[in-house]
């Protein structure tokens, strides 16, 4: 399990190559990469604040929950903080599993929990404004699908 | 007791600092918030809508009713928006 | 949209890097990589037969269906044929989308359809035997979740 | 009519060849299968369990009831196991 919280950029492809190389006994590898997207137009920067110390712990807990819940080989989570521009990589998760369904579901679970339970906050800066991104109801709703089963 | 109190995102901006040491006898997070709000307008403003405030004690998510017994670090922040 | 049916091996990480580079306007990139796994022990080779000509068409149709169904930026499908050994890459799909749910669902849909509707057949060769892999009921069942909605 | 008939995976192995030209008057895939089965034991064996046989006409998946009208290429194979 590798968890990295970092300011530095990274290449999700290079990370996937490294992650996959260690897991040739697993049949399925799923990756998710999140990039800065200019939704409204005019985005100059996406600033990401986090809570050093807690961030790593929170991600570790989420990853352990995923490993308890699904038959997984390994988990990778990389999340950046600092000032990013449009098109830049924000974060990545990857999972390996014997079967594709486990790898897919665990990756979606990790994403849903990272979105709403890991201490990161995004701020969108344009030439006109600098606004904290509001949490979306749909992201909170996404968590509920993992309840109880 | 002495607490390290931390603020993130717009809570940090409204309060004007990222962390501070607070000397308090508050038994719960809610009591601590009430105490902070009486201090200065900037705290009162920052905590005016508690539905938008999340809290962690010693880096574990919890809620406003949580006891501060044994706590060293309390953090306040808006709902997370990572990923 | 890039669809490749090939004997040559490839690096899913390098493919992901190339795929992602063209889509910095999309917020979400999901990839799935399938590797040869030694389920029973003693696997010497996984032989993959396909139906040249039909394979590309079938994959193209599946990819178009995915693009109709979800809000996608792009789709990548690479599938190998020939004789592969344990740990080797068999195939990869990747999707880009503005939102993560579309990217995830479309990638799962592509996988479910590729498994059961693209003309590939796998044979597992050990020192003792050479058996065609039987289609699994669960793979056929997986298709039914995409019905009707 | 003249059809290019193709066989894949264990159908190819049982029949002993990957493709052949077939001269037939069969109107449907099922009629073509019935005709092939009367030819030789290897065909009869290969097509003994039709629930395990899939068919494509001109590279489009279809079923045993499909008409051969206008068909040039008919392929028989077991359920696919790609991915």
Residue A78 has pLDDT above 70, yes or no: yes
- ipTM over 0.90 threshold: yes
C73 vs C96: CA distance, rounded Å: 5
**What's the confidence (pLDDT) of residue C149?**
53
- How many Cβ atoms sit within 10 Å of the Cβ of residue A46? 22
Q: CA-based angle D76:D79:D80, to the nearest 5?
A: 100
Residue A6 has pLDDT above 90, yes or no: yes
Cα–Cα distances in Å, from D37 out to D10, D21, D28, D32? 16, 16, 14, 9
State in words which class domain A2-144 has: alpha beta
Q: Which chain B residue has the Cα nearest residue A137?
A: B79
Q: Is D59 on the interface with C (CB under 8 A)?
A: yes
Q: Which residues of C touch D8 (CB under 8 A)?
A: 49, 51, 119, 121
**What's the confidence (pLDDT) of residue D16?**
97
For helices C12-21 and A12-21, angle between their N-to-C axes, nearest 10 degrees: 170
Q: Are the CB atoms for C36 and C88 separated by under 8 Å?
A: yes
Residue in A51, A118, A135 closest to B75 by CB: A51
Contact A12 C11 (CB under 8 A): no
A124 vs A67: CA distance, rounded Å: 33
Ranges of beta strands (E only) in B1-83 are 2-7, 19-23, 54-57, 60-62, 73-77
Helix (H) or strand (E) holding C67: helix C54-69
Of the candidate ranges A2-11, C134-143, D31-40, the one whose mean pLDDT is the lowest? C134-143
**Cα D38 versus chain centre, distance:** 14
Residues 6+ apart with CB under 8 A from B79: A116, A134, A135, A140, B52, B54
Domain ranges of chain D: 2-77
Residue A149 has pLDDT above 70, yes or no: no
Residue range D2-77 in CATH 1.20.1250.20:
no
B to D contact (≥3 Cβ pairs closer than 8 Å): no
- Collapsing DSSP to helix, strand or coil, C2 comes out as strand
**What's the confidence (pLDDT) of residue C22?**
79
For helices C54-69 and C100-117, angle between their N-to-C axes, nearest 10 degrees: 150
C92 vs A128: CA distance, rounded Å: 42
**What's the confidence (pLDDT) of residue C23?**
80
A32 vs A103: CA distance, rounded Å: 11
Q: Which chain B residue has the Cα nearest residue A53?
A: B59
DSSP annotation of C118: S
């Amino acid at each position: 399990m590798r968890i990295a919280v970092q300011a530095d950029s990274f290449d999700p492809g290079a990370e996937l190559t490294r992650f996959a190389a260690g897991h040739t006994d697993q049949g399925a590898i799923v990756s998710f990469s999140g990039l800065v997207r200019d939704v409204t137009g005019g985005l100059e920067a996406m600033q990401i604040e986090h809570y050093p110390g807690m961030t790593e712990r929170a991600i570790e807990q989420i990853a352990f929950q995923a490993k308890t819940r699904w038959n997984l080989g390994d988990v990778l989570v990389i999340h950046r903080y600092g000032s990013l521009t449009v098109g830049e990589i924000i974060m990545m998760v990857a999972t390996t599993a014997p079967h594709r369904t486990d790898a897919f579901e665990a990756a979606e679970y990790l994403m849903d929990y990272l979105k709403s339970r890991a201490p990161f906050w995004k701020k969108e800066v344009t030439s006109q404004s600098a606004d904290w991104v509001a949490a979306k109801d749909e992201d909170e709703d996404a968590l509920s699908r993992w309840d109880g089963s | 007791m002495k607490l390290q109190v931390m603020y993130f995102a717009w809570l940090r901006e409204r309060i004007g600092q990222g962390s501070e040491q607070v000397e308090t006898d508050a038994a719960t997070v809610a009591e601590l918030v009430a105490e902070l709000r009486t201090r200065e307008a900037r705290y009162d403003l920052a905590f005016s809508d508690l539905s938008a405030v999340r809290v962690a004690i010693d880096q574990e998510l919890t809620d406003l009713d949580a006891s501060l017994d044994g706590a060293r670090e309390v953090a306040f922040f808006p709902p997370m928006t990572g990923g």
